[in-house]
Amino acid sequence: MAKLTLAQLGEMLRNKRGGRGVREVAHEVGVSPATLSRVERGNIPDLGTFGKICKWLKLDPAEVLGLDKSRVSAQGIQEAPLVATAYFRTGQTVKPELAKALAEMILAAQRMMSR
């Protein structure tokens, strides 16, 4: 399977939505029709919306962000997955590169704090 990217979310949403209305699908996803429409047009969603969209599309958010899920400690113990959370003011969008860099920075900080 080809590597997924944040930029592909809009296309994936449009494809899965098919001929169904934006309002109907937005209700299923748990977002507003305006938000769904913005993401379909290529805007990067906030993390909460991103999670809802990934769930509806049955995607692993880590895969979309390009993060390594195989996190095993030196003792061979599977580490609990870290969750990146950030909030932006309403109406702000960020470029995919910035969103990925922020997610990586948050996860790195969480790893350091858990040690």
Percent of the chain predicted with pLDDT > 90: 31
Specify if 35 maps to a domain.
Answer: yes
Strand partners, 72: 78
Is the pLDDT score of 58 beyond 80? Answer: yes
Is residue 83 situated within a structural domain? Answer: yes
Q: Which comes out higher in pLDDT, residue 31 or 75?
A: 31
The C-alpha atoms of residue 96 and residue 51 are separated, in whole angstroms, by 15
Q: Is the pLDDT assigned to residue 21 strictly greater than 60?
A: yes
Domain that holds residue 40: 6-113
How many C-beta neighbours within 10 Å does residue 56 have? 19
Number of structural domains the chain divides into: 1
1 part of a folded domain: no
- Give the pLDDT mean for 18-27: 95
Say which amino acid occupies 15: N
More confident: 104 or 28: 28
| Stronger pLDDT, 13 or 80, i.e. the higher one | 13
Whole-angstrom distance, CA of residue 105 vs CA of residue 63: 17
In terms of Cα–Cα distance, which of 32, 27, 49 is closest to 93? 49
In a domain, 31, yes or no: yes
Kindly indicate the confidence band of residue 78, based on its pLDDT and cuts at 50, 70 and 90: very low
* Run of H or E including 26: helix 22-29
Does the pTM surpass 0.85? The reply is no
Q: Which two tokens stand for residue 95?
A: 């470029």
Judge whether residue 33 has pLDDT over 90.
Answer: yes
Asked whether residue 15 is domain-assigned, the answer is: yes
State the CATH number of the domain containing residue 105.
Answer: 1.10.260.40
